[in-house]
Amino acid sequence: MENFTHVSIDFFPFMVMVVLFFNCKKTITGPLMKDPFGVLAMLTLFGLVVDDIAWCLSGEEGTAAYAFGIFFNMLYFLIDVMLAFYWIRYIWFELHGTDIVRSRKVMIPVGCIASAYLVVLLSSPFTGAIFYLDENNVYIRGHYFIFSFIIIFASMIISMLIPAVHYLSEPSRATKRTCIYLILFNLPFFAGAVVQAIWSIWLLWPGASMSILIAFINIRNRQITSDPLTGLNNRNALSRFLKDRADHYDKQPMVVIMMDIDNFKRINDRYGHTAGDEALWNMADVMRETFGHRPVFLSRYGGDEFVMIKDYSGEADAKETVRQLRDALDKCNKSGRNAIQFGISAGYGVLDGVRNIEFADAVRDADDMMYDDKAQRREEAMPCL
Amino acid sequence: MLVNVSRYFQIDLIIILAMFILFINAVQSLPFSRSSSIIKRQILLLSILVVCDYTGWVLDGNPAGYAITLSWTADIVYFFLTVTVGGMWMLYTFNEAYDDEVFLDKVSKCAVGLPVAVSAVIDISSYWSHLVFYIDDQGNYIRGELFLAQYLISFVYLLAASAISYKAMKKEKNVEKRNRFQLLTLFPLIPIFGAVIQNYVNGVLTLWPMTAVGFLIVYINIQHEQISMDALTGLNNRRRFNQFFKDKFTDGRNSRNYYLIMIDVDEFKSINDNYGHISGDQILRMISSWFKAEFGKKTSFIARFGGDEFAIILQCRQDEEAYEMLEALNSTEGRVYKTGEMALRVTLSAGGAWFDEPAEQTPEALLALADARMYDVKRRHKREKDLKLPEVSEDAE
């Protein structure tokens, strides 16, 4: 009955993981095992299944049950330590966009700990270090069980600390939001593990599966609000941003800066869509590099138009912002990173109020100014032609 | 007994947590619409229902006075919600199938409101009549004669919902929407399956877990539709196009069934520059609805590729069909669109390529070929126009 209970508890988390797993294919491009989130989802699904199999085998009689019991329990202890490690990797990837598996500084100590653990685990059937099965094939914790326990809890604490520390040291609103999301993402797994360790109520894997659900929903959300080509915010995110302002009745005036790549149509027509896409990427990168760490809303508004929204502190500041962006783009053009060099026209309008109509006004002002700018730039460019 | 209580806690806690995650997300990110508000309410109701279910289990057999009162309340709410969740599900499906507020209002009053009210009266009167259930002096929960009826009403709603979406699926021409109705048609199987297992396998709780899983599937599907749609035109967006194109590319190379068309609006830039973004957006929307009306009937996938570019993937058996379509798109007459007081004649340039072109081995190369052909047409259009109107503005480039 005890074993069966276990299956009953894991039933819902298991079904949730199956649903997420099948939907991952639509969400993640590329192989699942290469994606930091995909690996987590896989390990959690396996963990749930292996955990249940091991429980069902516990107390069954016979040599076969013993052999399978040893095998699945070992697999279980392997998966849960792997999960703890990949958990950190996922968090690091979300915050920094880099894969710690590629970094030697991390992999050498991790490799050492992992091999030591593996040796202890593999010797368990003979020494009973991590676990053993008694004469009735019932699972019993070994003397060095604490080894796996420490690894898991240490990883969890690291997983919690990374976003917490980052939150305190990071000025950008977007990154702060990511940190909060990561802390929330950690909570179910963490809480499940603590409850399981202290009260022996089996919530580790169900907790992990809820964390995976949070991550999955979050990935989907990001896809809804980001532009697939450049990774900047899209129109959806822009309306959400405006709605957010209206909801909080945030009357702090803001400046809406519109930018448009000069002769983008000609780049597309002459060099093909790939070249055009590349110009858009580079433009997005320049925007991110220049303003990404500040509380600024960056978005792709349409084909080759970009919109940036920031707090308004006078005309001079708005002009300065445009100038900074131009400088950064010039630098990028000169560095040869852009296969095709391009310029931008820009204009701005002041958003003073929270209603949609006021935003439309600001966009119209910015638009008008941008077209004047474009005309002027064309005149300046004429003598050269 | 204690084992049971902790087991229900473990199961129910996770369901409530999952529903809570969905609810928070729905509040933050689902677009404001009737169907999202029904979904939000459904998620909330299911959480309350699970809490009541759990309360009932925990207090079962507890003879204390407060426990008996609480059991009565929790169980009455539980049965009431069992019927309501089913009714709401039918309303949701109905709203998806017929977007008609007046009709929906009538249905929600007659077909859902009335039976739910009647069953609520029966639930409450159980306190005296013991029809659905009762709690004895020892605090034990005992089923009444009409116990099963509450579940049956709920299942009837689910089956009705299934029938409604099946009918809508048969009528629907748009592939994406048809898939959605297919999912809604199959949905009731999930909780019913859960109920059957729970009924026949002793000691396993699956009814509400399965219902929650069903909601999760529907929710993920709603999100998926949001991800793959272009907000301005309602067509598929570039992300979805890339996915679809890559999926079909391998299939398509083996048979001459797929035809890719790239379309660009002629001189769109000058429309934007001369008449403003609002008019430009409006024209894009009108062009899109023309595409939907004209090509939506055939097996075709229509996407907005970028600013003023569109892509269509056509599945057809005869070459003529594809070429006719290309001809229609490329007509030099164009079409006249009204925006505000102005009427603008807009022409399109379109170029196509078969999926089995021998020289193009990759999706990118095929796209580039269709693109190149489109630009040939565009140059031709421009020459023809230049002949007619020599003073064409230089913005037109």
Of B206, B224, B364, the CB nearest to A11: B206
Q: What are phi and psi of A142, to 5 degrees?
A: -90, 180
pLDDT per position as a tens digit, B46-97 = 999 999 988 888 888 888 888 888 999 999 999 999 999 999 999 999 888 8
| Chosen from B9, B10, B189 to mutate, greatest number of chain A CBs within 10 A | B10
**Is A354 found in the same domain as A244?**
yes
Strand partners, B312: B261, B302
Q: Which residue in chain B is spatially nearest to A8 when comparing CA positions?
A: B204
Average model confidence (pLDDT) across chain B: 83
Candidate ranges A27-31, A43-47, B140-144, B253-257; pick with highest mean pLDDT? A43-47
**Is A244 found in the same domain as A206?**
no
**Is A249 found in the same domain as A218?**
no
Residue B198: count of CB within 10 angstroms of its CB: 17
What CA–CA distance (Å, rounded) separates B372 from B363? Answer: 14
CA-only gyration radius of chain A, Å:
27
- Give residue B172's Cα distance to chain centre: 13
Q: Does B67 touch chain A (CB under 8 A)?
A: no
Lowest-confidence region among A232-236, A350-354, B19-23: A350-354
B residues 276-335 near A, CB within 8 Å?
Answer: 276-278, 306-308
Question: Residue B9: is its pLDDT beyond 70?
Answer: yes
Contacts of B163 by beta carbon, 8 Å cutoff, 6+ apart? none
Q: 3-state SS string over A277-337? A: HHHHHHHHHHHHHHHCCCCCEEEECCCCEEEEEEECCCHHHHHHHHHHHHHHHHHHHHCCC
Q: In this complex, do B224 and A26 lie within 8 Å of one another by their Cβ atoms?
A: yes
Q: How far is B66 from chain A (nearest CA, A)?
A: 27
If you write DSSP's letter for every residue of B325-390 in order, what string do you get? HHHHHH-TT-EEEEETTEEEEE-EEEEEEETT-SS--SHHHHHHHHHHHHHHHHHHHHHHHHHH-T
pLDDT of residue B252: 67
Q: Which residue in chain A is spatially nearest to B229 when comparing CA positions?
A: A224
| Chosen from A3, A6, A7, A11 to mutate, greatest number of chain B CBs within 10 A | A11
Q: Mean of the pLDDT values across residues A353-381?
A: 79
Strand partners, A132: A140
- What's the longest Cα–Cα distance across chain B? 97
Task: Name every chain B residue with its beta carbon within 8 A of the beta carbon of A220.
Answer: 220, 223-224, 227
Amino acid code (one letter) for A150: I
What CA–CA distance (Å, rounded) separates B156 from B69? Answer: 31
Nearest-5° Cα angle at B42, B37 to B43: 100
Question: Residue A382: is its pLDDT beyond 60?
Answer: no
Q: In this complex, do B209 and A213 lie within 8 Å of one another by their Cβ atoms?
A: no
**Is A246 found in the same domain as A220?**
no
* Residue where one domain finishes, among candidates A160, A192, A225: A225
Of A23, A229, A272, the CB nearest to B220: A23
Q: In this complex, do B204 and A8 lie within 8 Å of one another by their Cβ atoms?
A: yes
Pair of tokens at residue B386: 């230049």
Of B216, B308, B371, the CB nearest to A19: B216
* Residue where one domain finishes, among candidates A225, A257, A272: A225
**Is A240 found in the same domain as A219?**
no
User: What is the predicted ipTM?
Assistant: 0.78
H helices present in A58-144, as ranges:
63-96, 104-127
Candidate ranges B38-47, B117-126, B170-179, B247-256; pick with highest mean pLDDT? B38-47
What CA–CA distance (Å, rounded) separates B224 from A223? Answer: 9
pLDDT of residue A384: 43
A82, A187, B390 from A148: Cα distances, Å: 11, 20, 80
Q: Among positive and negative, which fits the CA dihedral B99, B105, B111, B117? A: positive
Pair A217, B21: CB distance under 8 Å: yes
pLDDT of residue A29: 63
**Is A209 found in the same domain as A77?**
yes
Of B10, B28, B223, the CB nearest to A220: B223
Question: Residue B195: is its pLDDT beyond 70?
Answer: yes
pLDDT of residue B394: 43
Let me know if residue A357 belongs to a domain: yes
Question: Residue B118: is its pLDDT beyond 50?
Answer: yes
Please, which pLDDT band fits residue B2 given cuts at 50, 70 and 90?
very low
**Is A132 found in the same domain as A44?**
yes
Q: Between the CA atoms of A6, A9, A15 and A20, what dihedral angle is there, to the nearest 10 degrees?
A: -100
Let me know if residue A176 belongs to a domain: yes
* Residue where one domain finishes, among candidates A225, A252, A278: A225
B residues 214-273 near A, CB within 8 Å?
Answer: 216-217, 220, 223-224, 226-227, 231-232, 237-239, 242-243, 269, 273
**Is A242 found in the same domain as A220?**
no
Q: Which residue in chain A is spatially nearest to B270 when comparing CA positions?
A: A265
Domain that holds residue A207: 2-225
Q: Mean of the pLDDT values across residues A173-192?
A: 87
A21, A98, A289, B227 from A28: Cα distances, Å: 10, 17, 26, 13
Residue B304, SS3 per DSSP: strand
Residue B231, SS3 per DSSP: coil
What CA–CA distance (Å, rounded) separates B146 from B139? Answer: 20
Whichever domain contains A252, its CATH number is 3.30.70.270
**Is A241 found in the same domain as A216?**
no
Task: Name every chain B residue with its beta carbon within 8 A of the beta carbon of A9.
Answer: 7, 10-11
Question: How many structural domains comprise chain A?
Answer: 2
**Is A241 found in the same domain as A181?**
no
Residue A69: count of CB within 10 angstroms of its CB: 25
Of A1, A206, A209, the CB nearest to B10: A206
Lowest-confidence region among A164-178, A316-330, B188-202: A164-178
Contacts of B235 by beta carbon, 8 Å cutoff, 6+ apart? B229, B288, B291, B292, B302, B303, B304, B310
Task: Name every chain A residue with its beta carbon within 8 A of the beta carbon of B232.
Answer: 235
Query: Regarding beta strands A139-141 and A131-133, do their DSSP bridges make them parallel or antiparallel, or are they unpaired?
Result: antiparallel
Whichever domain contains A74, its CATH number is 1.20.1070
Let me know if residue A60 belongs to a domain: yes
Question: Residue B189: is its pLDDT beyond 70?
Answer: yes
**Is A152 found in the same domain as A124?**
yes
Q: Which residue in chain A is spatially nearest to B365 when comparing CA positions?
A: A274
pLDDT per position as a tens digit, A138-158 = 888 888 888 888 888 999 999
Q: In this complex, do A224 and B29 lie within 8 Å of one another by their Cβ atoms?
A: yes
A120, B204, B238 from B235: Cα distances, Å: 57, 45, 10
More confident residue, A211 or B395: A211
Let me know if residue A230 belongs to a domain: no
Pair of tokens at residue B120: 């609520």
Of B10, B242, B364, the CB nearest to A9: B10
Please, which pLDDT band fits residue A128 given cuts at 50, 70 and 90?
confident
Question: Residue B396: is its pLDDT beyond 60?
Answer: no
Task: Kindly state the DSSP code that residue B202 receives in the 8-state scheme.
Answer: T
Q: Mean of the pLDDT values across residues A167-189?
A: 84
**Is A41 found in the same domain as A131?**
yes
Q: How far is A313 from chain B (nearest CA, A)?
A: 27
pLDDT per position as a tens digit, A64-120 = 888 888 899 999 999 989 999 999 999 998 888 778 878 888 888 888 988 998 998
Residue B306, SS3 per DSSP: strand
Domains, chain B: 2-228 (1.20.1070.10), 238-396 (3.30.70.270)
Q: In this complex, do A12 and B22 lie within 8 Å of one another by their Cβ atoms?
A: no
Question: Residue B163: is its pLDDT beyond 90?
Answer: yes
